[in-house]
Copies of this chain bind each other. A is one copy, B any other.
Amino acid sequence: MAPRKEQQIFRATLELLAAKGYEGLTVEGVAERSRVNKTTIYRWWPSKAALLAAALVEADLLAMEQPDTGSLRGDLEALVRGIVALLTRPPAADVAVAALGAAVHHRELAEAVRRFFADRFVREEAVFERARRRGELSATADPMLIVDLLAGAVWLRTVFRGLPPDDDFAARAVSAVLDGSATARARTGGPAAG
């Protein structure tokens, strides 16, 4: 399928999900909205779950630039700012929050969300590989844990607390996971040698 047409279908899928929820999402509705024949859509994606999984992973609407600022700190701050934007700025915010919220209730959607996060992580690993080569990451550091702490904090702050992160949120959150919040006397081991 032509990339432009595919993106049209993905955008229609995600907009319909945000507007009507997972129950209200139908391949017929996507066909109408994207002006693509229903049988064409079914030929590529056998179910609405498959279509939504593809849209979550591949839609330009939810794409995030992979940062390469020259430092781990800079890359992680850019990553956090990207997640804040994704969860707070329309139209992507409505889609991202609706998809993730709905995943809680629908087992087949949960699988799509797992693929979404797994796919993101594969891309984010480049940030940590470069950081290791530059000697910025301690030997015991756990990249997926770092990503989950940061992305989870943005989700909790924006969606559950309803508090939009302020301008220095990214810098403070990244400093918390890179520099730690304990005093020297309360630390275990301390930073590994660079």
A interface, how many residues as a size bin?
35 or more
**Are B193 and A184 in contact, CB atoms less than 8 angstroms apart?**
yes
CB < 8 Å: which of B71, B104, B135, B194 contacts A100?
A: B104
Instruction: Tell me how far the C-beta of A124 lies from the nearest C-beta in chain B, rounded to whole angstroms.
Output: 13
**Are A180 and B183 in contact, CB atoms less than 8 angstroms apart?**
no
As a 0/1 sequence over residues 117 to 134 of chain A, the CB contacts with chain B under 8 angstroms (1 = contact) are 110000000000001001
**Are A180 and B191 in contact, CB atoms less than 8 angstroms apart?**
yes
State which residues 126-155 of A face B: CB under 8 Å. Answer: 131, 134-138, 140-142, 145-146, 148-155
**Are A161 and B117 in contact, CB atoms less than 8 angstroms apart?**
yes
CB < 8 Å: which of B101, B157, B178, B183 contacts A105?
A: B101
Q: Return the chain B residue nearest A156 by Cβ.
A: B152
As a 0/1 sequence over residues 173 to 188 of chain A, the CB contacts with chain B under 8 angstroms (1 = contact) are 1011111111111111
**Are B194 and A72 in contact, CB atoms less than 8 angstroms apart?**
no
**Are B114 and A104 in contact, CB atoms less than 8 angstroms apart?**
no
> Is A97 located at the chain interface by the 8 A CB criterion?
yes
Q: Return the chain B residue nearest A142 by Cβ.
A: B172
**Are A136 and B185 in contact, CB atoms less than 8 angstroms apart?**
yes
**Are A175 and B149 in contact, CB atoms less than 8 angstroms apart?**
no
Instruction: Tell me how far the C-beta of A117 lies from the nearest C-beta in chain B, rounded to whole angstroms.
Output: 5
Contacts of A154 in B (CB 8 A): 152
